[in-house]
Amino acid sequence: MMYAVLGFLSGVISGMGIGGGVILIPALSFFTDWTQQQAQAANLLFFLPTACVALYKHKKEGNVQVDTAKQLVLWGLLGAAVGSFLAVGLDGTLLRRFFGGFLVVMGLLEIFQAKKKENQ
C-alpha cells in the first residue's frame, strides 16, 4: 500500500512538472532499506512513463517550445551521463547529503523569489 501511495503522490507532482523525485527519493530512502543509489535508480525508472504522460498533455495544451526543448534534451543527456557516473561512484551517505542540500537550496530559492514578488 505504501508503494501505491508513494507512486500516486509522486505521479501527481511529476505531472505538475515539479519532479516526483522530490517525494519518491526521500521516501524510499527513509521508509525502506534501499540505498540512496537504489532510490535514485527507481526514480529514474518511475520518471520515464510519468514524463511521457505529462509531456503528451503539456504538448497538447501548447506549453512545449520544441526548439528550446531539443537543446535542453541534448545537454540534459550529457549531464545525465556525467551525473550517473558520479552517483554510482559516490558513497550513499554523501550522495544523500548532496541531494538533501540541493532540495534545501531549491526550497530557499523558491521562498526568496516569492518574497521578492510580493514586494514588487
Distance CA 55, CA 38 (A): 25
**Predicted local confidence at residue 38, as pLDDT:** 92
Angle between helices 36-60 and 2-15 (to 10 degrees): 40
**Predicted local confidence at residue 105, as pLDDT:** 93
- Alpha helices for the chain (secondary structure H): 2-15, 21-31, 36-60, 66-89, 92-118
**Predicted local confidence at residue 5, as pLDDT:** 87
Distance CA 67, CA 47 (A): 22
**Predicted local confidence at residue 14, as pLDDT:** 76
Angle between helices 21-31 and 36-60 (to 10 degrees): 160
Picking from 22, 18, 15, 26, the residue whose alpha carbon sits closest to that of residue 49 is: 15
**Predicted local confidence at residue 101, as pLDDT:** 93
**Predicted local confidence at residue 63, as pLDDT:** 92
**Predicted local confidence at residue 87, as pLDDT:** 87
Per-10-residue mean pLDDT for the chain, 120 residues long?
A: 85 76 86 90 87 89 92 92 90 90 90 84
Cell representation of residue 100: 538533501
* Alpha carbons within 13 A on the beta-carbon side of 66: 5
**Predicted local confidence at residue 78, as pLDDT:** 95
